[in-house]
Structure 1
Amino acid sequence: MTTTLFLPPSNLVASGVQRAVYLHPADSTKLVKVLKPAEQQARRRNFNGVMDRWFPATRLRQIRKEYMEYLRIMLNHPEPDFHLPVSHMFGFVSTNVGLGCLTERVMSPDGGLGETLGQKVKNGTLTDEDIDLLNDAIAELFAHGIRASDLNPNNLVFGQRDSGTGPGPKECVLVDGFGDIHAIPVRSMAAWSNRIGLNDSCTRLARNTGLHWDAKQQQFSRS
């Protein structure tokens, strides 16, 4: 028997183009990402918006790519001490507002949601420690060949994850935008092509945050 998880409107914490994010009503270490009905999506005139309207299956393709990338990384790294710079995923659940994807929650020290890179840049609260944590996450993306197609400032969150015995250390975590979601999956073709793609993504991230990206050192710094 399938139990439907009830997500009250008050648990809504974020709403993107395709998905809405809710606090899990019974587990403070998890979030629930729900795919919005097509009729609730904002009409976009860019390439992705046209694809969504004319080829609705592309919305599901992006979610499949995300899960496929998560599975690929975890199957390639079964070692128990492997540190994933991406939020863990825990499968699907039926909810009162649609199909939900259970995912790991990155928390602030007070138990709230961790701050995104975009929020810190906007509020002027980005510290040197934060930049070091961002560079740690980026180094792991490169080292493990993780395909991150959307490194935008709102997909990188600073905070702590549940370690099984309590909050873990502060870190920077990529919570969305991973997987080779492009129409032509260039990043999946070879390790070198993914490195080029990651470098391009970091260059755009630097431009959107006012940081400097050193492609040779593969590190961010203040401009």
Structure 2
Amino acid sequence: MTHALFLPPSNLVASGVQRDVYLHPTDPTKLIKVLKPDRDQPRRKTFNGLMDRWFPSTRIRQIRKEYMEYLRVMLRHPEPGFHAPMSHMFGFVSTNAGLGCLTERVMTPDGNLGETLGRKVKNGTLTDDHIALLNDTIARLFQHGVRAGDMNPNNFVFGQRDNGSGLGPKECVLVDGFGDIHAIPVRSMASWSNRLGLADSCKRLARNTGLIWDPKTLRFSR
């Protein structure tokens, strides 16, 4: 018999359209993403919102695509020193709030959650060093052909990851939004189509952050 992890309301640290994010109750290096019940879903009038309402299975499809992309990238790079540009995933766990997805926690040296690109832009705390870390992550997304369908500012987090012996170096991590979640999976058809998709996502990210995107160098700047 599997005992469900108890996630107290005080452990809730973020709430998106599809999932709530909780601190792991016993492991400070991990987070738990729990799919929201249908009744708690916002009634969006967008295409994705209508698909969620008319075809509820699409919500599960998005999670499946996320895991499939993580597995695809990691199986192509089994080497111990591989530096993944997205957060690592550790399977599923039963919780009192529903089925949870285990993922690593990107944090500050004092153990608090890392800050998103969106929050830094809003607070005016985005520095040239942060942009350099973002560019490093973008370079690795292109280099490894990661299919990232939702590169919004709140899906990039600055901080450090646990490497088994403590916190690693400061970096920028794509913590959500990877996987070819589009109705027509164009990004999965070829490497060139995914590169076009990544470039288009970076253009949108620039518009949403006030940064400048250079399609030739594949880098952001002020």
TM-score range, shorter chain: over 0.9
Q: Count how many residue pairs are aligned between Structure 1 and Structure 2.
A: 222
Q: Distance in 1 between matches of 2:15 and 2:151?
A: 18
Which residue number corresponds to residue 107 of structure 1?
A: 107
Whole-Å separation in 2 of the counterparts to 1:81 and 1:46: 41
Q: C-alpha deviations, 1:156-200, integer Å up to 9, x for none?
A: 000000010000000000000000000000000000000000000
Q: SS of 1:2's equivalent?
A: coil
After the TM superposition, list the runs of 4 or more consecutive aligned residues in structure 1 that deviate by more than 4 angstroms. none
SS in 1 for 2:181: coil
**Alignment map for 1:44-193 (pairs within 5 Å):** 44-193=44-193
Q: Secondary structure at the match of 1:60?
A: helix
| Distance in 1 between residues matched to 2:49 and 2:151, nearest whole Å | 19
Shift of 1:89: 0.2
Secondary structure at the residue paired with 1:180?
A: coil
Measured after TM superposition, the shift of residue 3 of structure 1 is 1.8
- State the shift of 1:213 in Å: 0.2
Deviation at 1:218?
0.2
Structure 2 residues not aligned, in runs of 5+ = none
Q: Which amino acid aligns with 1:104?
A: E
Instruction: For 2:110 and 2:123, locate their aligned partners in 1 and report how far apart those are by CA, in whole Å.
Output: 19
Q: Is 1:39–2:36 an aligned residue pair? A: no
Q: Deviations over 1:97-135 (max 9, x none)?
A: 100000010001211000000000000000100000000
RMSD over aligned Cα, in angstroms? 0.4
CA distance in 1, matches of 2:38, 2:49: 11
Aligned counterparts of 1:140 and 1:3: Cα–Cα separation in 2: 39
Distance in structure 2 (CA, Å) of the matches to 1:114 and 1:77: 26
For structure 1, list consecutive stretches of 5 or more residues without a partner in the other structure. none
Q: Distance in 2 between matches of 1:110 and 1:122?
A: 22
Partner residue in 2 for 1:209:
209
Q: TM-score, normalised by structure 1?
A: 0.99
Provide the identity percentage. 79
Which AA in structure 1 matches 2:207?
Answer: R
Is 1:195 paired with 2:195? yes
Task: Name the structure 2 match of 1:6.
Answer: 6
What is the DSSP-based 3-state SS (H/G/I as helix, E as strand, rest coil) of the residue aligned with 1:182? Answer: coil
In 2, Cα distance between equivalents of 1:190 and 1:3: 43
